[in-house]
Chain A
Amino acid sequence: MPKPHLALVAALLVALGLSHFSDQIDPYHLDVLIGVGINIILAVSLNLVNGYTGQFSLGHAGFMSVGAYFAAAISLFVAPQWLGAEGGSVLQRGLAFAGALLAGGLCAAVAGLLVGVPSLRLKGDYLALVTLGFGEIIRVIFQNVEKFGGALGLNGIPAYTTIFWVIAFGALAVFTVTCLVNSTYGRGFLATHDDEIASESVGLDTTRYKIVAFVVGAFFAGIAGGLYGHFKLTITPTGFDFTKSIEIVVMVILGGMGNTRGVILAAIILTLLPELLRPIAEFRMIIYSLLLIILMIVRPQGLLNFPRRAAKKSPAP
Chain B
Amino acid sequence: MSEFLQQLLNGLSLGAIYALIALGYTMVYGVLRFINFAHADVFMVGSFIGYYAGKLVPEGTLWGGFSVLLAAMLGCALLGMSIERLAYRPLRGSPTLNVLITAIGVSLLLEYSGQVFFGAAPRTFPPIFPSQNFQFGSLTLSSNQIAVIVVAALLMLALQFIVHRTKIGTAMRAVSLNPRAAQLVGINNDVVISFTFGLGSALAGAGGILYAMNYPSIDPLMGVMPGLKAFVAAILGGIGNIRGAALGGLLLGTVETFVSGSQWSTYKDAIAFGILIIILLFRPAGLLGKFTVEKV
Contacts and interface: CB of A to CB of B under 8 A. Distances in A.
A292 B96 contact: no
A82 interface: no
Interface residues of B, number: 44
B283 to A, nearest CB: 13
B90 interface: yes
Contacts of A136: 228, 269-270, 273
A9 B116 CA distance: 47
Contacts of B284: 122, 126
Given A118-B277, A119-B277, A137-B273, A285 B112 contact: yes
B81 interface: no
Interface string A86-129: 00000000000000000000000000000000110110111011
A296 B276 contact: no
Interface stretch (B53-61, B97-105, B125-133): B97-105
Contact of B280 (A122, A140, A296, A300): A122
A292 B101 CA distance: 7
Interface residues of A, number: 39
A128 B108 CA distance: 16
B224 interface: yes
Contacts, number: 108
B25 to A, nearest CB: 11
A197 B106 CA distance: 31
A291 B101 CA distance: 11
A54 B273 CA distance: 23
A56 B231 CA distance: 18
B274 interface: yes
Contact of A128 (B90, B100, B270): B100
B121 interface: no
B116 A283 contact: yes
Contacts of B99: 296
Contact of A129 (B35, B112, B266): B35
B146 interface: no
A246 B94 contact: no
B87 interface: yes
Interface of A: 54, 56, 118-119, 121-122, 124-126, 128-130, 132-134, 136-137, 140-141, 143-144, 197, 242, 246, 249, 253, 282-283, 285-286, 288-293, 296-297, 300
Given A283-B116, A296-B99, A300-B98, 15 more contacts: A118-B277, A119-B277, A128-B35, A130-B277, A133-B276, A137-B274, A246-B104, A249-B101, A249-B104, A253-B101, A285-B112, A288-B108, A289-B106, A291-B105, A292-B105
